[in-house]
Amino acid sequence: MAFLGIDTGGTFTDFVLWQDGVIRVHKVPSTPAAPEQAILQGVRELGLEPVGLRIVHGSTVATNAVLEGKGARTAFVTNRGFGDLLSIGRQARRALYDLQPLPATLPIPPELCLETGGRLGAEGSLLEPLTDADLAQLRADVERLGAEAAAVSLLFSYLDDAAERAVARALPPGVFVSLSSAVLPLMGEYERGIATWLNARVGPVVGGYLGRLRAGLPGARVAVMQSSGETVAAELAGDAAVRLLLSGPAGGLAGAGYVARAAGIERLLTFDMGGTSTDVALVEGAPRLTLEGRIAGLPVAVPMVDMHTIGAGGGSIARVDAGGVLQVGPESAGAAPGPVCYGRGGHEPTVTDANLVLGRLRAHAFLGGRMRLDLPAASAALARLGSRLGLAAGDAAGESDTDLAERAARGVIDIVNEHMAQALRVISVQRGIDPTGAWLCCFGGAGGLHVCALAEALGMSRALVPERAGVLSALGMLVAAPGRLLTRAWLGPLAARGDAEVDAALTALAAEGGTALAAEGIDVADLARADSLDLRYRGQSYTLNVPWNGAAATADAFRALHIARYGHGLDLPVELVNLRVRLTLPARAPVLPVLEDAAADAATVSAPERVHIPGCAERVPVLRRGALSVGAELAGPAVILDDVSTTWLAPGWRARRERWGNLLLRRAVAGG
């Protein structure tokens, strides 16, 4: 049987195929207007028949729909007096001391906000009934507005969802309906409303895309990665589209954790640098999850991997701002036209062009030689950038255009590295975590070109460049397990809840998830279950997630975690806010080939190509990763190539290839 992991990125769509114990990798340019076309092209180029093929896919369709403001025309249904709930939001301001803030763009037009009855109190008591007249009026309003979708978010509906279900039954046929009691049954009317509205808005888009993908792959079994790291059958994913917003990045973290555990590494700082953006995260055995994620400035309180994303990637455009200062990103050349060196009509220089001009990318070896890069075009674009910056050039300064391009390229790389280093500090230093005790793990097509510089910027001395780093997110799709992460509000003092009462509530929640998984044809007898609680001190707004181990032990674990995270504890009662149950099947992880007996190509090792790299006094060796013997060390500077990525081993660093094919990098010279 063939298992195929697919990650759709902004520039390339990546494939990892595991078939008969052999792993194959492949890349094709993404087709943003119709992402399924790149997937179908890749399946054809891999020579695969859809029948019997098992696919796990990381999709950017939901994310892009949110970022680009696209989606179905969606009505927002809530209780009377709360129609402007999503527009008011929270009191927190983006710029606390800005006395003249610009008006925020409303997430939803006021005319699409509908009010009705069915209001509950905080304890679940009925304050206002939902009448037949209310339901008839809602149906008429939705038809009049031409709404394609409806987000129903009534107050405290997580305590009793009967009114929301009645609204759903009353709406016109063909309208895509999302209920807050199903999307996010938690406290917080604003966050629950936003999640429900996003789910309704992008649900038809995701459902249509996955329908076209499944139609193009008849007989294949297609699953989709969720933001929390579990996979879900594609035919069900459209109903929970808001849970796919970090689908691709979740796959990358699953892949990073998998290869790190094989190498005996527990704590990682990861950065996934693709063509458009860079995602950074902390992985300690498994990725951390959060209920406080944000997309396009909006809170997305569904469980998702805890990461920080910036607009810095290989396609990030370098430009000169109105003040004459060099800026890099967040605008990206994307897949079309792409960097100048791709020869597809791009004119503005990018990070990829800068790496090519600096010799760290090799024009003839990109993607294993399947795509040749245009070095003269990239050099000319960066020379123009240097001129706009006012750098000395030409005969007047004794410099050639090549020198000017190289100087501009170094500036581009320095700036994008600082952007990414700052993002890594956000996920580590700003959370009280010392990065020097962790390994820096890079992946994505561009990650290996920047890993040494970023490690140095954070004072780190160890880095991991995984085998197949350029397609690690696609590999992560294969190692992810089918499952569900269920969360339910259950507010009250932890000490007042008996252990048996909590156990019973968790078991009921697990049964709900088991029923959903059984509908996908999954044998629930094989499910692994992990229970946890979201806890806080009484009076706090934010929670910490702690594994459930009885009330007393769990409260002690919360207090210890609070001290570790925030540096202090409080003499206050511990409050239970949410129950969480994670159900997963054992992953069908591919067995990574062991390279203990692999022999390097002696001819390649004995006489590697040596090239001029700007900034290096001597010519630098260029080697294929496969030419490195297991256990042997290579001293930088060096360029290490493989079919899906390139690693720049900077001066002062050494690389050793271990038995799984990963490169273990260590800083050999303090301060070097």
pLDDT at 100: 86
Three state DSSP letters for 427-488: HCHHHCCCHHHCEEEEECCCHHHCHHHHHHHCCCCEEEECCCHHHHHHHHHHHCCEEEEEEE
Cβ neighbours of residue 488 under 8 Å, at least 6 residues apart? 158, 185, 186, 505, 509, 578, 579
State residue 520's pLDDT score.
76
- Bigger pLDDT: 209 or 286? 209
pLDDT at 286 over 50: yes
Q: Which two tokens mark 53?
A: 């093929």
CB 172, CB 150: distance < 8 Å: no
Q: pLDDT tens digits, residue range 497-512?
A: 889 999 999 999 999 8
Query: What does the pLDDT look like over 525-582, one tens digit per residue?
Result: 888 899 999 999 999 988 999 999 999 999 999 999 999 888 899 999 999 999 999 9
Count Cβ atoms within 10 A of the Cβ of residue 609 and give its class: 0-12 exposed, 13-18 middle, 19 or more buried: middle
Q: Is the pLDDT of residue 593 over 70?
A: no
Whether 605 has a pLDDT exceeding 50, the answer reads: no
Q: What is the reported pLDDT for 440?
A: 96
- pLDDT over 90 percentage in the chain: 53
Q: Spelled out in words, what is the top-level CATH class assigned to the domain 483-584?
A: alpha beta
**Residues 533, 269: Cα–Cα separation, whole Å:** 26
Number of neighbouring beta carbons within 10 Å of residue 149: 24
**By C-alpha distance, which of 186, 181, 108 is closest to 149?**
108
pLDDT at 213: 93
- Identify the band that residue 587 occupies on the pLDDT scale cut at 50, 70 and 90: low
pLDDT interval class at 276 (50, 70, 90): confident
Min mean pLDDT across 131-140, 293-302, 485-494 is at: 293-302
pLDDT at 552: 93
| First CA to last CA distance, the chain | 48
- Give the single-character DSSP code of 627: G
- Helices then strands, counting H and E runs in the chain, come out as 18, 35
Identify the band that residue 590 occupies on the pLDDT scale cut at 50, 70 and 90: low
- As a whole number of angstroms, the distance between CA 453 and CA 435 comes to 14
Picking from 357, 234, 246, 233, the residue whose alpha carbon sits closest to that of residue 295 is 246
Contact between residue 355 and residue 361 where contact means Cβ atoms under 8 Å apart: yes
Q: Domain residue spans in the chain?
A: 71-204, 483-584
For the chain, what is the mean pLDDT? 88
Quick one: pLDDT at residue 394?
47
Given a cut of 70, is residue 489 above it in pLDDT?
yes
- What pLDDT score was predicted for residue 607? 58
Tens of pLDDT, residues 25-79: 898 888 888 899 999 999 999 999 999 899 999 988 888 788 777 889 999 999 9
Reply yes or no on whether the pLDDT at 481 is more than 90: no
User: Which of 214, 251, 263 has its CA nearest to residue 630?
Assistant: 263
Asked whether the beta carbons of 639 and 621 are under 8 A apart, the reply is yes
d(CA 480, CA 513): 17
What pLDDT is attached to residue 99?
84
Q: Are 466 and 259 in contact (CB under 8 A)?
A: yes
What average pLDDT does range 438-450 have in this prediction? 92
Give the model confidence (pLDDT) of 204-225 as tens digits: 999 999 999 999 999 999 999 9
CA Rg, the chain, in Å? 26
DSSP 630: B
pLDDT of residue 90: 84
Q: Can you tell me the mean pLDDT for 180-187?
A: 93
